[in-house]
Structure 1
Amino acid sequence: MDTIFDWLDKKHLKYNDKKLIEEAFIHSSYVNENKLYKHDNERLEFMGDAVLQLWSTRKLFSLEPALSEGQMTTLRAQLVCEEALAAYNRQLGLWHYLRLGVGEEKTGGRHRDSILADMFEAFLGAMYLDQGMDAVDVILEEVLTPAISRPKSEKVIDYKTKLQEYVQGDTRKNVHYETVHISGPSNKPEFEVIVLLDDIILGRGKGLSKKRAEQMAAKDAFEKMVK
């Protein structure tokens, strides 16, 4: 079986820190069952999320004819949502290199959008740290750039952005999100998140990933505030 490094070689992408690259594919369930591994891919996911936001924003900003701020916000939300990131992962075939615990594997984790989306972001984070934005360009130009011109679902709404814009219409303060509860089995946890302005709870949401729960909390808050 080939490895992620064979994949990178085929793409003519360089790499230096193999441990860093491998870490992008290590799910928390794998760490729990393999004590030789101390770190899962969550820290790299955090980095990759920031890299993806910057890359996609720069890409949309350079489009001609120029898009308005609202158009860029909506299109970016559609391009980097969980379902889209999982689709890019499948398109590139990266999911083959994902390392999961036995239980997670048996319950279909290798095909779960939330896990594949997180892994894709972690991979971007690892490549950015190891090789810089040029490597990220190669990967995202292949999958994200073509997606810009594809028809988008109107169902994709970035409630976090909508809520922040609504709040800043009255105040310059930022809302923030906190995970207040995690339930369910370790291989399929459900997150409960609240969104706050100062110490006031604006909304609550649940989801099978933190990002989904945050979106649901933002949706709850936004719909309450615009009534």
Structure 2
Amino acid sequence: MAPNTPIAIDAARREHLEQLWQQLGLSSPLPLKDHELAQLNAALTHTSSGLHSHHEQLEFLGDAVLRLAATEFIASTQPQLPVGERSALRAQLVSDEWLAQLGEQIGIARWWQIGAMASGDGAGHATLRAELSEALIGAIYAIGGLQAVQAWLTPYWQPTSAAVLADPHRGNSKSALQEWSQGQALGLPAYDTREVSRRHGDPRRFHCRVSLADLLAEGWGGSRREAEQHAARNALRLLQERPKGNTAPH
């Protein structure tokens, strides 16, 4: 998939992009061809920059590629997992939160081109890292295919996968809390989630309070889902701290 309309890439930007390619450890030989540089440049150019060739099409491609690559990673590394648990694991490996962490790990801000307003909005940088990391996945696929994407992402997926599989709730605290409450005949947890900040990308944009019988816990997040998951996780933690006989399952 080609970016919108290729733009001229000067020598300094070309060298900068090839430094990134080398840092990522990708196998396609340097120097990159002009159309490959155009893909890479577009992936790292956010719409906020005002430049005509930007990340959106490659982000769309990267979303599909990421899910397929994660599916194959799980199939090869965790063949014993039932389908339901594979889905739960994949949800963590393709999440916006994971993508933002990936962007931070590779230092994507050193290579991105973003607008002045976006640059000044520190709270929104996590969203930018997630969007451009996904676009970068799309560009790597367009240049080197699925194998290149898998080779690049596998070392980043391995520790995340291990952490999720070590979590008895598989990263879905809401589901675990609901299962426990129904098992105790307490009904469903009640979530009161409110937007407390209008800043896009603010990690504390939403506040959630979850209540269940005599239990009350709260959490914050950049999205409603994230805030509710954090509140449920804190509720489970409170339950685990209670005397035996009235605790959440481990």
4+ residue runs of structure 1 moved beyond 4 angstroms? 151-159
Corresponding position: 1:60 with 2:79: no
Alpha-carbon shift at residue 4 of structure 1 (Å):
2.9
Instruction: Give, in whole Å, the separation in 2 of the partners of 1:151 and 1:144.
Output: 10
Which amino acid is 1:21 matched to? L
Which amino acid is 2:43 matched to? A
Which amino acid is 2:131 matched to? D
Ranges in structure 1 where 5+ consecutive residues have no aligned partner: 32-36, 160-183, 191-206, 220-227
Instruction: Give, in whole Å, the separation in 2 of the partners of 1:20 and 1:62.
Output: 29
Equivalences for 1:27-176 in 2 at 5 Å? Answer: 27-31=46-50, 37-64=51-78, 66-108=80-122, 112-151=125-164, 154=169, 156-157=171-172
Change (3 A) 1:61 1:54: same
Alpha-carbon RMSD: 3.1
Alpha-carbon shift at residue 66 of structure 1 (Å):
1.1
Alpha-carbon shift at residue 91 of structure 1 (Å):
1.2
Change (3 A) 1:48 1:158: farther
Alpha-carbon shift at residue 65 of structure 1 (Å):
5.0
Instruction: Give, in whole Å, the separation in 2 of the partners of 1:99 and 1:79.
Output: 26
Larger relative contact order, structure 1 or 2 (CA cutoff 8 Å, min sep 6):
1
Q: Which moved more, 1:50-59 or 1:90-99?
A: 90-99
Change (3 A) 1:104 1:53: same
Which of the residues 42, 47, 60 maps onto 1:23?
42
Identity of aligned residues (%): 26
Alpha-carbon shift at residue 12 of structure 1 (Å):
4.5
Alpha-carbon shift at residue 49 of structure 1 (Å):
0.6
Aligned length: 165
Which amino acid is 2:118 matched to? E
Contact preservation (8 Å) 2:62, 2:136: yes
Task: For residues 15-69 of structure 1, give each alpha carbon's deviation from its aligned partner in whole angstroms, at most 9, with x where no partner exists.
Answer: 43211110001111102xxxxx313211110100100000001111223451111
Change (3 A) 1:25 1:4: same
Change (3 A) 1:64 1:24: closer
Q: Which moved more, 1:50-59 or 1:125-134?
A: 125-134
Which amino acid is 1:20 matched to? Q
Contact preservation (8 Å) 1:28, 1:40: yes
| Larger of the two Rg values belongs to structure | 2
Q: Report the TM-score when normalising by structure 1.
A: 0.62
